[in-house]
Amino acid sequence: MLDEMAEARQERQELREGMIQLQNVVERLTNVQEGIANKLASLDGDRPTILRKLSTIENKVAHILQREQEEVEFPINSDQLI
């Protein structure tokens, strides 16, 4: 009878330890999930800035190409500027 009680106590202790380990794993997974959500939110927050910068670059390139095209069509001679 004492052996059965000791064995049952041991099993309960092992179950408690297993539950504690599961709780720790769930807590770590929750932290990882929150970290991922924060990173995604950060990326979404940076997107307008990145798009604005890309748009600025695109506009500058278009302006340069337009100027080069105009110079090809209407070359400017330094004598004409005087």
The pTM score is 0.50
Q: What is the C-alpha to C-alpha distance for residues 60 and 14, in angstroms, rounded to an integer?
A: 68
Range of the structural domain that residue 33 is part of: 2-81
Number of domains in the chain: 1
Residue with tokens 């092992």: 14
pLDDT band per the 50, 70, 90 thresholds, residue 61: very high
Q: What is the C-alpha to C-alpha distance for residues 33 and 41, in angstroms, rounded to an integer?
A: 12
pLDDT at 14: 95
pLDDT band per the 50, 70, 90 thresholds, residue 77: low
pLDDT by residue (tens digit) across 18-46?
Answer: 999 999 999 999 999 999 988 887 776 66
